[in-house]
Amino acid sequence: MLAATKHPLRKPSTQSSTLLPYLFEHIDEEQLVTVFHVGPALSDTVDFFSRYRCKLHFIDLFGELPIVATADATADPEQRLASLLQFPADTLFDICLFWDLFNFLDDATIKAFLAVLFPHLKDKSVAHAFSVHNIRAPQSNHLYGINQPDTLSCRDRRVALPGYAPHSQRELQALLHCFRLERSVLLPDSRLELLLHARL
C-alpha cells in the first residue's frame, strides 16, 4: 500500500457513480488486488483501498500532458510512454482507473499507451473511464478519486489540462481495441461514464 501525502487542492466534492461498484463486485477483502490508477495518490483513494489487500500503482500521466516524443527526434509516443509506465514485468492489473485520460490523447498516443499496457492485462481486468457524448462538450477540469464503492471524489484542478480533443464513443471504442465496452452511462453534463473489460 502506498502512502499518500495531502494534495494541495480544495476539499473534494462527491459524485455518485452507477458503474464504479462493478469494478469491485468480484473482489473480496482477502484477495490481493492490483490497481493501476492514472493520477496522483490522493488520500481518499488510498484510504478507500486500505480495506483491500492491494498493490497500488499511481502514475500521474496528466502531469505529463501533452504526451509527445521526447527531445530525441527518434523517440515516439510508445517509447515515451514506456519510460513513464515502468511496471514490474510480472504485474497484471485487476482494475485500471483511467478517468478522463483518453480525452487528452490523440489516436496514435492511445494506441501507444495500450501497446505498453497490454502485457499487464489479464482476461478478468476491468477498467473505468470517462468520455463524452458530444465531442463539442466543454472540457471538465476535475481530478478524480474514490470515496466509497459507489462514490467518486472530485477536485477542481488549479490549471486546465492541455490537449483536450475528445473522441466520439464510436471512435474511442475502436481505439480501445483490447477492451470491450461493458456499460456506459450518460451523465448530466454530457460526459459518458464507461465500464470496460479486457479483451485479450
CATH code of residue 165: 3.40.50.150
Instruction: List, in sequence order, every residue forming a beta bridge with 185; answer none if it has no partner.
Output: 193
**Would you state the pLDDT for residue 73?**
47
Residue 59 lies in a domain: yes
Residue 58 lies in a domain: yes
Q: What cell numbers appear for 170 in the block?
A: 464510436
CA distance 75 to 164: 23
Cβ(121)–Cβ(198) below 8 Å: yes
Q: Which domain holds residue 120?
A: 13-198
Angle subtended by helix axes 107-117 and 77-84, to nearest 10? 40
Q: What is the mean pLDDT of each run of 10 residues along the chain (200 residues)?
A: 44 92 87 95 94 94 80 69 94 98 96 96 96 94 94 94 95 96 94 95
Residue 4 lies in a domain: no
Residue 5 lies in a domain: no
Measured between alpha carbons, how far is residue 169 from residues 3, 34, 42, 123, 183 in Å? 35, 27, 29, 23, 12
**Would you state the pLDDT for residue 16?**
95
Mapping DSSP to helix (H, G, I), strand (E, B) and coil, where does residue 147 land?
strand
What ranges in the chain are assigned the alpha helix state H? 43-49, 77-84, 107-117, 169-175
Cβ(83)–Cβ(61) below 8 Å: no
Cβ(4)–Cβ(37) below 8 Å: no
Residue 7 lies in a domain: no
* pLDDT tens digit sequence for 33-81: 999 999 999 999 999 999 899 999 999 999 999 986 454 545 678 888 9
Count structural domains, the chain: 1
Mapping DSSP to helix (H, G, I), strand (E, B) and coil, where does residue 114 land?
helix
**Would you state the pLDDT for residue 74?**
54
Cβ(130)–Cβ(194) below 8 Å: yes
CA distance 196 to 23: 9
Residue 6 lies in a domain: no
Q: pTM higher than 0.75, yes or no?
A: yes
